[in-house]
Structure 1
């Protein structure tokens, strides 16, 4: 079942908030809720009822495939266009897809952390 804007964003936030080491805030503007792991961005939720989107990090090849296969996915709005995609409500945007995109974004960022930080996150996941 496809998600409306509110459910799209809430699903993304529910997944992100359940992950270890996550913080959130509004460092750029009051309309962008930024979710980070170890100080690095992995999810942005646009807090504008007229533009209910999320933006996540994606491997460039995977991002290109997502854009090709889902009309609700486009190049990222706020960051490097090759490494980020923005997701808006659409027929093929499901809760499972959003959950996978947020988890993949988190993993991409966490995998780039220094070893000690990465190890600490893995310990927290095991708790």
Structure 2
């Protein structure tokens, strides 16, 4: 998947998530997706390379970085809890959807129960079951 396709795929999927909103708080070069005011995905270009920055469980983030050369620590974010995904031959639509869903679920789980647009423990289970 190339960088432009990575951005398009991630954005289209993020826009489908319940309660997701797109903002540009850092200017037009940054697309920031939030749920109930909390960031779950950022998109920008890092020296000409389109990237998607997502929240991730620390153990999962480490495993993803070890297994995939197109995944690195979160750009301008906490390196333990965020990952940066670049386009590349090891990044496909399924992986992007899975990572966006997981980032969204992690953020929703930290919201007060009354503010959660979905149950973070079961939402997206069909995505994981399909892999």
> Which residue does the alignment assign to 2:129?
none
Residue 87, structure 1, aligned to residue 71, structure 2: no
Corresponding position: 1:42 with 2:53 = no
Is the 1:5–1:88 contact (alpha carbons within 8 Å) kept by the matching residues of 2? yes
- The higher relative CO (CA closer than 8 Å, separation ≥ 6) is in 1
Q: Does 1:122 align with 2:118?
A: yes
2:65 is the alignment partner of 1:67: yes
- TM-score where L is the length of structure 2: 0.86
| Alpha-carbon distance, 1:50 to partner | 1.4
Distance in 1, Cα, partners of 2:50 & 2:72: 13
SS of residue paired to 1:71: coil
- TM-score where L is the length of structure 1: 0.89
Give the superposition deviation at 1:115: 1.0
CA distance in 1, matches of 2:89, 2:118: 35
Bigger Cα displacement from structure 2, 72-81 vs 47-56: 47-56
Contact 1:31/1:48 (<8 A) preserved: no
Query: Partners of 1:5 and 1:55 in 2: how far apart?
Result: 13
Unaligned runs of 5+ in 2: 124-131
Report runs of 4+ in structure 1 exceeding 3 Å deviation: none
Would you say how many aligned residue pairs link Structure 1 and Structure 2? Answer: 120
Q: What is the Cα-based RMSD across aligned positions, in Å?
A: 1.7
Corresponding residue SS for 1:109: helix
Give SS of 2:65's match: helix
